[in-house]
Chains A and B, each alone.
Chain A
Amino acid sequence: MSAPARFAATLLVLAAFVPAPTPAHAEDAGADTAAVTHAELERILEGYTEQIQTMTSDLDKLKRVKFSGYLQARWETSENSSDSVKVAGNPYAVTSPNLGRFYIRRGRLKMTYDSSPLSQAVFYVDGGTDRTIRLLEAYVTLMDPWTALHRHQLTIGQQNVPFGYEIERSSSVRELPERSKAENVLFSGERDRGVKLVDQWTDRFQTTVALVNGGGINHVDFPNTDPTKAKDVLARARWSQGWFDAAASYYTGRNVTPLTGPDVATDKTRVGFDAQLFYALPRAGGGTLRGEWYGAHEVNPDSVKALVVAPTAANPVRLLAPGANPGHLATDAEGWYVMWVQNAGDRAQGVARYDRWDPNTDLAHDQFERWSLGVNYFWDGFTRITLSYDAIRTETKSGAQYVDPEDNLWTLQVQHKW
């Protein structure tokens, strides 16, 4: 349609909204009708313009609220799947669920409000594994006004702890269904409450420091108390070359075991290094080689419990056993993984990972090893199907020998991310 034709059509449409002249004036309106109509049309257009401006203003406010999230529906089947769950204790309690099951691993909804270029609020909940809606993250970020790209950002609230590569990557983009064992043990829940300062000093170099309560969101004391007056401190430095990234992380803080008498406070220290190498093959596409190492020196809370005189009805005190020194219980723990990811075109991806966790480097037979193999298929831009196999090796004493329990696991997962 030509421009004059479009203009004429627009006038016709607008004219339909103009009230028709009443019959009493129809005869004598005559030549003035065109002029009146033109003036009225202008007023109508101005009215519409004002309405559009108001709607645009309202829409701009709504566009500051962003909803995102993802859902992971899963079917698992393990070698030790059975027709009954195991129970123990009195009253009976489930100790190990049957692993031949459908379940929702993660069902997450995130709301971000970009109130201005200088501040942002995030509210993030999970309705997956637990039967209740659980608050995962809730924080406010303040961005510096003195750099164009806001290279210095302060975040306060409940958030990811800045330690290691696995934690900073969302579960929605990870190539295997679960993180490494070392990360699961040392940073269960991955989140804590505190304050974090991120400084992007150059395009390639970033540092992060944080103060947190300690313990994390899966700790029994969370979220109402922090038994340690001093806060745990984290620091992370990252160099990003684009095709090669490397980072170091450090964590220092304390664990407390509450007793009737003086509480037992023990130090905990964790160190981590991670590196990622990215490359591209001519037809297959991108690939990555990754490695991460975790080291920890701390007293295992379960070990401390062994030194505590258990309270009874007759004697409800809870004290450290005479002569016990929990400082001697500190042990070194170590975990690491290496991982290979290779894309095959834009839709398929293969993954292999070996991860290892040793909770006490001085002990034998307590190590955890796992080979994980996986295939990802990207159905479209939002949905991914994952098939993975975990070959787990641990040692359990059976008579005079140690045996590897049958607990290897198949996982089929469909994830939709919006």
Chain B
Amino acid sequence: MIARIRMLGLLAATLSLAACSPAPVESRGITLKGSDTMVILGQRWAEQYMNQNPGQVIQVTGGGSGTGIAALINGTTDICQSSRPMKPDEKLKLRDRYQSTGIEIPVAKDGLSVYLNEGNPVKELSIEQLKAIYTGKVTNWKQVGGKDATIILYGRENSSGTYGFFKDNVLDGQDFAASCQTLPGTAAVVNAVAKDANGIGYGGAAYTKGVRDCAVKKNAGAPAVMPGAATVKDGSYPLSRFLFFYLRRKPEGDTKKFVDWVLSPAGQQLAVQVGYFPLH
């Protein structure tokens, strides 16, 4: 009898805790968190969707793809915006908590631009040259066909998906040179390169304002390709990538309606207006 009373006590305590716990994320509307590259895109999607669907509330915040994935795992966002695929260890963490590796939805394409100052005479760089520049093996513009001046490196913080994509696809996983100045967002990188005649940076193609895109070659013998709708779509631009939504499970209800709208012609057209590229 005493054991039963104890058992009921335990159950009652647990249910009481459950009853007074904070409201789930979804009851506060839909939240998007993650990639700084995608934050403007997410905001535009949210604004237009809310205009078309009064009563719907969508909150968009940045912080970087890594931050968004962490938020997805600990349940503080409904949708993670990421400019890189989830890493295996991140998928395992998600599966440990939700018994699912999550749902990956490509929502747009992006060309990762290499920004140069308007006054820089260098027009094109190969992936190998970019790797040598960002790992610190090449330190003077003269070594890659430019003027005799020290190369000033600008990049992103390691929580950024753009940082991860550049590191994996350009640096082959090697570390950035210690002289690379990390900045908190793509706009800051663009701003720094615009003001620095010897600067070089990288980030989403949509942010190229006041700086010049550098044509990129897959290797020394390949043609130099500029980022653009056609070259990103056909894959000829070497630094093209997908942008993703990640969810804990298959979207339902309001979340599904929003995701469907993002993937619709209206949502994809908006991505183009912001400076990104459609999936198809």
Q: Considering the chains assembled together, what is the distance between the CA atoms of A53 and B181 in angstroms?
A: 8
Q: Considering the chains assembled together, what is the distance between the CA atoms of A150 and B175 in angstroms?
A: 12
Contact present for A381 and B14 (CB under 8 Å): no
Residues of A within 8 A of B97 (CB): 173
Contacts A377-B14, A385-B14 given; does A118 touch B168 at CB 8 Å:
no
Residues of A within 8 A of B173 (CB): 117, 145, 147-150
With beta carbons under 8 angstroms apart, the residue of A117, A148, A285 that contacts B98 is A285
Task: Report if A323 contacts B (CB, 8 A).
Answer: no
Q: Considering the chains assembled together, what is the distance between the CA atoms of A375 and B181 in angstroms?
A: 48
Contact present for B99 and A382 (CB under 8 Å): no
Contacts A117-B173, A375-B14 given; does A285 touch B181 at CB 8 Å:
no
Residues of A within 8 A of B88 (CB): 200, 203
With beta carbons under 8 angstroms apart, the residue of A116, A173, A278, A380 that contacts B175 is A116
Instruction: Give the interface segment out of A176-184, A210-218, A340-348.
Output: A340-348
* Interface range on chain B (Cβ under 8 Å from partner): 35 or more
A73-132 at interface with B (beta carbon < 8 Å):
77, 79, 116-118
Closest residue of chain A to B172 (Cβ to Cβ) is: A148
Contact present for B6 and A347 (CB under 8 Å): no
Contact present for A410 and B99 (CB under 8 Å): no
Task: Report if B241 contacts A (CB, 8 A).
Answer: no
Q: Considering the chains assembled together, what is the distance between the CA atoms of A79 and B25 in angstroms?
A: 40
B156-199 at interface with A (beta carbon < 8 Å):
158, 167-169, 172-175, 181-182
Contact present for A278 and B74 (CB under 8 Å): no
Contacts A60-B182, A173-B96, A347-B24 given; does A77 touch B175 at CB 8 Å:
no
Number of A-B contacts (CB under 8 A): 101
Residues of B within 8 A of A79 (CB): 3
With beta carbons under 8 angstroms apart, the residue of A283, A346, A348, A379 that contacts B248 is A346
Contact present for B99 and A287 (CB under 8 Å): yes
With beta carbons under 8 angstroms apart, the residue of B24, B158, B167 that contacts A346 is B24
Q: How far is the CB of B251 from chain A (nearest CB, A)?
A: 11
Q: How far is the CB of A166 from chain B (nearest CB, A)?
A: 13
Q: How far is the CB of A171 from chain B (nearest CB, A)?
A: 12
Contact present for B14 and A280 (CB under 8 Å): no
Contact present for A286 and B249 (CB under 8 Å): yes
Residues of A within 8 A of B181 (CB): 53, 56
Q: Considering the chains assembled together, what is the distance between the CA atoms of A200 and B96 in angstroms?
A: 20
Task: Report if A134 contacts B (CB, 8 A).
Answer: no
Task: Report if B7 contacts A (CB, 8 A).
Answer: yes
Contacts A53-B181, A60-B182 given; does A242 touch B101 at CB 8 Å:
yes
Q: Considering the chains assembled together, what is the distance between the CA atoms of A380 and B68 in angstroms?
A: 16
Residues of B within 8 A of A381 (CB): 71, 73-76
- Chain A 152-187 against B: per-residue CB contact (8 Å), 1 yes, 0 no? 000000000000000001000100000000000000
Residues of A within 8 A of B1 (CB): none
22 example contacts (A-B, Cβ-Cβ < 8 A) are as follows A117-B173, A117-B174, A117-B175, A147-B173, A148-B173, A278-B100, A278-B101, A280-B99, A280-B249, A285-B100, A286-B99, A286-B100, A288-B99, A343-B99, A346-B25, A347-B21, A380-B76, A381-B74, A381-B76, A385-B17, A387-B10, A410-B6
| Given pairs A117-B173, A150-B173, A278-B95, 13 additional interface contacts (CB within 8 A) | A63-B158, A145-B174, A148-B167, A148-B173, A173-B96, A287-B99, A345-B24, A346-B25, A377-B17, A380-B74, A381-B71, A385-B17, A387-B11
